[in-house]
């Protein structure tokens, strides 16, 4: 019984660290895949939940920002404007 508990105390944190490491590696690979010359032209800038079934979203697409309302019935375009230039972070 003591041997079982000792193995559990050693292997359980090891398995947790391996899972955490895999999640970090997956995130980094996904971030790298989205950059470069083939990067995506569609990006969700910001979202705001109005109710459990309604949400507002600002979507950046080809130097334009589009405000859409998302409901269970679908998407509705509310407004469109030129994209804001992002200020460089310090």
Q: What is the pLDDT of residue 1?
A: 84
Question: In this predicted model, what pLDDT tens digit does every residue of 41-69 receive, in sequence order?
Answer: 788 889 999 999 999 999 999 889 999 99
Instruction: Confirm if 42 and 59 have CB atoms less than 8 A apart.
Output: yes
Q: What is the pLDDT of residue 39?
A: 60
Is the confidence at residue 89, as pLDDT, over 70?
no
Query: Helix, strand, coil shares of the chain as percentages rounded to 5?
Result: 35, 40, 25
82: three-class secondary structure by DSSP: strand
Is the confidence at residue 35, as pLDDT, over 90?
no
Sequence spans of domains, the chain: 1-38, 40-83
Q: What is the pLDDT of residue 62?
A: 87
Is the confidence at residue 80, as pLDDT, over 50?
yes
């Amino acid at each position: 019984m003591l041997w079982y508990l000792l193995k559990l105390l050693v292997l359980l944190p090891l398995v947790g660290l391996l899972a955490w490491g895999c999640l970090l590696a997956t995130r980094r690979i996904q971030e790298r895949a989205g950059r470069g010359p083939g990067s995506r032209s569609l990006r969700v800038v910001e979202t705001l939940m109005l109710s459990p079934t309604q949400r507002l979203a600002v979507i950046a697409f080809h130097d334009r920002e589009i405000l859409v309302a998302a409901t269970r019935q679908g998407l509705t375009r509310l407004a469109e404007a030129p994209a804001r230039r992002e200020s460089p972070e310090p």
